[in-house]
Structures are given as structure tokens and as C-alpha cells.
Structure 1
Amino acid sequence: MADLSLFSNEQIAALLSALPDPAFILTRSGRYAAIFGGTDTRYYHDGSGLAGKYLAEVLNPEKAAWFQAQVAIALASRGLHVVEYPLAGDDVKGVGSEGPAETLWFEGRVQPLEYQVLGEDAVLWVASNITASKKLEALLRMQSETDSLTGLANRRKLMNSLTEHFELFARYKTAASVLIFDIDHFKGINDEYGHLSGDKAIMATAEVCRRELRATDFPARLGGDEFVVLMPHTDSAQAMPIAERLRLRIAEQLRELGTLGRGATISGGLSEMTAGDSAYEEVLKRADDALYRAKRDGRNRIVRH
């Protein structure tokens, strides 16, 4: 611990004022008893005007209640309480157009004080702006879940989504269908016209998925020329017309490329989650079996299992 006797009261006040991150003394009732620091103007506005005000005077009701709850948690724990939280312009009263154009993220380190302030239990709340690290975290997460060629979800993201929807189905019997399809004679396209043409065919297929599917549908590239579409709240009878429309539109788009000779089509297999399923893999297996039947029966078709 520092020997504060080495510093005068004026020096201690100057040290507190020089803190880059803002530090607030907040009472149990949500009153700003004091504000120190916040000198890093890249991330913080002047908060000196908050002293004496209550959270409810500064923040909207929901956000003010959240902050007051965190103060209560820290006081009850009697130890350091660390939280991450967003603050948007409409969370703060009276800032209007002067508020941040984007949501800012902060880490709050909330430490109960061993003495009362203004007759109340109180905490020291140090706020650190972590918006940059949150943006990087979101970017890395997006990159880890996105197929680099098509921009669709990748296999990892697909499996996570299938898991979530299967849990919903198992608990609430919420219908969901799965379509697996690939581009017919894709190896021949690569062999005859080159891998660049193959990539163009894959990208064109992904673009049709984005354009033609519903906002609630979830298209993903499984790998190679194979795609999966998860259709939530949709049984296979309802999904079949959607799959057929996708088949027709993809064939039209691939013909328009003009680099695939006679053009290309897709074959697909469709299945839905059923009461007997114990995992989403069973739905995928049925859809995959239906895909192979579509290939065997002449391609350029959707087979429903």
C-alpha cells in the first residue's frame, strides 16, 4: 500500500483528478457522491456535472435500475464486482445529438467502500472504455463463423445454429426443416472450366440464397459446393416450395454466368425435425440420404424425406 503521508491533500486530489479512466463514488440509493479522473478525452466526456445527481436523473429508467442493482450486488458481496455493459446515446438523458453515434462498451470495476458516504453505504465504480476490444472481439467472432468465399455462415456457425434450434424443437416442438443441396456435376465444371469458374458458381449460388430465402432462414456453406439451409418454424411441406424456388433461381443464375457451357443445376434433400430425433445429426442424415436419392434419380430436383 502507498504511504499517503508522503503526499499533501492537494497532491492526492491532483492524482485523483489525473486518472485516465473516470472513477465514481456511488451510494446505495444511486447518488453520484463524487467523480474523479476521466482525463482521457478520446473516450470520456467531462462528468464533473454528475456530482450530486441520481442515476435516475442521468439515465433512462431501465439502465438506471441496472446500475443501481450492480451497486447492491457489490455491497452484498463485500468484494470487487466486475461487469461489462453498453451505453448508447439514448441510454443517457439530455445528450441528444451530442451523444455517441455508436454504442460504447465499458468494464466497470465496482469496489465497496469501508465507510459511509453522505450517510449511505457506497462503492467506488471505475469505468474503462473497452469499445475497441469489443469491436475486435466481434470481428474475430464473425470471421470465425463466416465462410470467406461466400460470406455465408460456415460449418461451425451452422452446427451451433442447428444445436440451438434442435433444443427449441425438443423443448417446445417448434418445427424446423433442413435442406442440403449441392451443384450438379461440379467436379466437371472445375475440370473443364477451371477452379475460378467453380468459385464463381459457388458465389453465385450463395447470392441467390441471400436474395431468395426468407429473413428467418439460415443458409450456410457446409464445404466445397455443398450448402445447407435451416428453415425455422417451417415443416417440410411448407419448406418444399421454398426449396423448389431456390432450385429454379440458382439454375437461372448459373446459366447467366455464361462460363459453364450448358449451365448447371442443383440437387437437394429435404427433411424436418421429428419427435423421434435425439440430435440434429439425425435430421441432417435424412436430408443427406434424400440428396443422394435426388442424384440417383437424375439430378436437378429436390427430394423430400
Structure 2
Amino acid sequence: MADLSLFSNEQIAALLAALPDPAFILTRSGRYAAVFGGTDSRYYHDGSGLVGKSICDVLNPEKAAWFETQIAIALASHGLHVVEYPLAREDIKGLGGDGPAEVIWFEGRVQPLDYQVLDEEAVLWVASNITASKKLETLLRTQSETDSLTGLFNRRKLMSGLTEHFELFARYKTPTSVLIFDIDKFKGINDEYGHLAGDKAIATTADVCRRELRATDFPARLGGDEFVVLMPHTDGEQAMPIAERLRHRIAEALQKLGTLGPGATISGGLSEMTAGDLSYEEVLKRADDALYRAKRDGRNRIIRH
């Protein structure tokens, strides 16, 4: 702990003013009693104009209520309270088009003070801009969940989604269907036209999935030329026309490539979660069995199990 007697009041004030991150003294009711620091001009503007205002004067009601709640939590805990929070242009009153175009993320370290300020309990709130680390975190998460060739979700993310939706089905009986499909005679495409043509067929198939499926659907590349589409809130009868439309659209797109020969198509198996299922693996197994039957029966078709 520093011996403040070594410093004059002017020096202490200068030290506080030099803090890179802004520090706010906020009362329980949300009044700005003082603002220190914020000298890192990459992230912060001069906050001295906040003194004397309340959070409600500066922020829109929903965001202001959130800040007031965090102050109350910190005061009740009698210890350091750490939070992460975004601030967007629309959260701040009076900015109009002058505010930042992108959302800015902060880490707030909120420490209760052991004395009153303006006749109220108060906290010291230090705000650190963590937008860069948030962007990196989002990028790394996206890379870990995304197939590099197609841009669809990868196997890992698919299994996570299947687990989540099976738990929802088990609890609420929310209808959910699963489609598995692959490109017919894909090995022949690779052998005759080369692996670049095979990759192009896979990427084209993914593009059609993004274009044709609903926003609530969850398409993923399982591996190779095999894809899975998870369809929440959709029973088998509702899912079948979606699967058939996808089959037709993918065939049209593949044949337009002009490098795969005539008749490039897909085959698929469709199943839905049922009351007797103990895990999502059972749904996948039924869909995979139906895919096998579609291949055996001549390809270019969807079979529902």
C-alpha cells in the first residue's frame, strides 16, 4: 500500500487524472460524483462533463437500470464486483450519428467505498475497454465452430446443437427433425474431375443450404461430403418438403457448375425426435439408416424414417 503522505494533494490529483482507464465515483442512486482518468485517447473521451449528472441523464432507461442494479449488487456484496458489458450508440442519449459505429465492450470493476458521497453510499467504478479481446474471443470461437471449406458449422458445433435441442425436446416435447444427406457418387467426382472439383461441389452445396434453409435451421458439415441439417420446432411431416426443396435446389446448383458431369444429385435420410429416444444419437442413427435406403433404392431421393 502506497504511503500517500509522500505526495501532495496536487500530486495525488495529477496521479488520478493520469489514469489510462476512467474511474467514476457513483452513488447508490446513480449520480456521477467524480470522474478521474481516461487519458487513453484510443478508447475514451473526456468524461468530466458527467459530473453532477445521473446515469438516467446519460443512458437510455434499460441500460441505466442495469448500471443501477450493478451498483446495488456491489454495495450489498461489500466487495469487488466485476462485470462485462457492451455499450452501443443507441444506449447513450443524445449521440445521434456521432457515436461509435460498433459496439464497445468494457470490463467494469466496481468497488464499494467505506464512506458516503453526497450523503449516499457510493462505489468506485473503473471501466476498461476490452473490445479488442472480445473480438479475438469471438474470432477464435467462430474458428473452433466453423468448417473452413464451407463456412457452415462443423461436427463439434453440430453435436453441441444436437445435445441442446434434444434436452429441449426431452423437457418440453418441442418437435425437432434431423436430415442427413450426401452428394451422390462423390468418390467418382473426385476420381474423374479431381479433388478441387469435389471441394467446389461441397462448397456449392453449403451455399445452397445457407440460401434455401430457414433462419432457425442449423446446417452443418459432418465430414467429407456428408451434411446434417437440424430443424428445430419442425416435425417430420413439416420437414419433408423442406428437405425435398433442398434436394432439388442442390441438384440444380451442382449441375450448373458444368464440371461434374450430368446428374449430380444428393440423397438423404430424415428422422425426428420421438418420445422413446434416449439420446440424439438414436435420431441420427434412424436418419443415417434412411440415407442408406435412399442410396440402395437408386439415389436422388429423401427417405423419411
The question of a shared fold, defined as TM-score above 0.5 by the shorter chain, is answered with yes
- Identity across matched positions, percent: 85
Cα distance, 1:212 vs structure 2: 1.4
Cα distance, 1:32 vs structure 2: 0.7
Q: Quote the residue 2:278 is aligned against.
A: 278
Whether 1:299 aligns to 2:302 is no
Q: Quote the residue 1:115 is aligned against.
A: 115
Q: 1-side partners of 2:67 and 2:257: how far apart?
A: 56
TM (norm. structure 1) is 0.98
Cα distance, 1:59 vs structure 2: 0.8
Q: Quote the residue 2:94 is aligned against.
A: 94
Comparing 207-216 with 37-46, which one deviates more in the overlay?
A: 207-216
Q: Quote the residue 2:260 is aligned against.
A: 260
Amino acid at match of 2:170: A
Q: 2-side partners of 1:106 and 1:34: how far apart?
A: 19
Comparing 248-257 with 17-26, which one deviates more in the overlay?
A: 248-257
Amino acid at match of 1:224: G
Comparing 104-113 with 291-300, which one deviates more in the overlay?
A: 291-300
Q: 2-side partners of 1:252 and 1:283: how far apart?
A: 29
Aligned length: 305
Q: Deviations over 1:222-251 (max 9, x none)?
A: 000000011111111111111111111111
Q: Deviations over 1:176-215 (max 9, x none)?
A: 1100000111111111111111101101111111111122
Note the 1:56-75 alignment, pairs <5 A: 56-75=56-75
Q: Deviations over 1:63-109 (max 9, x none)?
A: 11111111111111111110000011111111212211111100000
Note the 1:119-268 alignment, pairs <5 A: 119-268=119-268
Q: 2-side partners of 1:211 and 1:97: how far apart?
A: 33
Comparing 164-173 with 227-236, which one deviates more in the overlay?
A: 164-173
Cα distance, 1:262 vs structure 2: 2.6
Q: Quote the residue 1:7 is aligned against.
A: 7
Q: CA RMSD in A?
A: 1.0
TM (norm. structure 2) is 0.98
Where does structure 1 lack aligned partners over 5 or more consecutive residues? none
Whether 1:105 aligns to 2:105 is yes
User: Moved runs in structure 1, 4+ residues, more than 4 A?
Assistant: none
Q: 2-side partners of 1:226 and 1:65: how far apart?
A: 48
**Aligned with 2:164: secondary structure?**
helix
Cα distance, 1:165 vs structure 2: 1.5
Q: 1-side partners of 2:50 and 2:142: how far apart?
A: 37
Cα distance, 1:261 vs structure 2: 2.1
Comparing 17-26 with 112-121, which one deviates more in the overlay?
A: 112-121
Q: 1-side partners of 2:29 and 2:200: how far apart?
A: 62
